[in-house]
Amino acid sequence: MDEYKVTERDLEVARQMQAPEQVIESMEAGEWLYASDREAVRYAELAIDHMREAHGQACEARWSTVPSVLSDEVVATLVVVGGAHDGAEVEVHMSVAEPRTYTDTWGAVVHAGAYEALVREGVGEALAELPAASWDMLVWMTDVEALTDMADDIPVEQVAPLVEGSVNIYIAPSAVSTQEQLDALRAQVRASMERRNLTISYYLLVTAEEPEGSTMDAAWGQDQAKAVGDTIALRSSGYVEGGAS
């Protein structure tokens, strides 16, 4: 196939990526407006093909970088179409040089629910002495490269030490009033994470004000942490590495 020929698939993927109107019009006329447009679309197509072949998952393109002198890889952002994870966002990293290699964040999509449940269980155990409504948390995976070549159905207990994670725990001031109390809770969180063999950074943040209705909400807590001023009264944090000797 002539690599410069605009195909129907090129047009479809460009529309998925919400390419500018002038780019679409040029493609409809059979011409690429810029070489970078062609590269972005074609790399997005490779990423879509990778997800179908590696994971049997249909995806649509949203964005792709293009090769540059500063990087030897391209990153495409896709959205899952259909199945249990419909609408989830996936990144595919591709080498520019042949033979092309791929890594992706599909593992984070597949295991996110079970991983969060494991972390939430551990934090709940560590903070059992606090009123349930006085704290909430946000948890996410920060590095899932180790899952790239692993089966999608591996148990979360095997995932826990392999991925880097992070959890922010927001606590109302009525539940914890001193740094000593917070540091003691931090030690309990660490022990609980270690028992679950997690590799994770954990942050305990006591807000300066009581949450509305005296029920902590993680989204509200996150807003407090991002706000300018003395919105966080106390802080304590740590890191534990699962599988470490």
The predicted-structure confidence for 48-95, as pLDDT tens digits, reads as follows 999 999 999 999 999 999 988 788 899 999 999 999 999 999 999 999
* Higher-confidence position of 152 and 93: 93
The predicted model scores a pTM of 0.79
Give tens-digit pLDDT for 101-144.
998 989 889 988 999 999 999 999 999 999 999 999 999 988 87
Say if residue 244's pLDDT is above 70: no
Distance CA 230, CA 173 (A): 13
Distance CA 196, CA 243 (A): 10
Q: Percentage of the chain surpassing pLDDT 90?
A: 75
Say if residue 2's pLDDT is above 80: no
CA torsion 18-21-24-25 (nearest 10°) is 170
Say if residue 223's pLDDT is above 50: yes
Under the banding of pLDDT at 50, 70 and 90, the label for residue 150 is confident
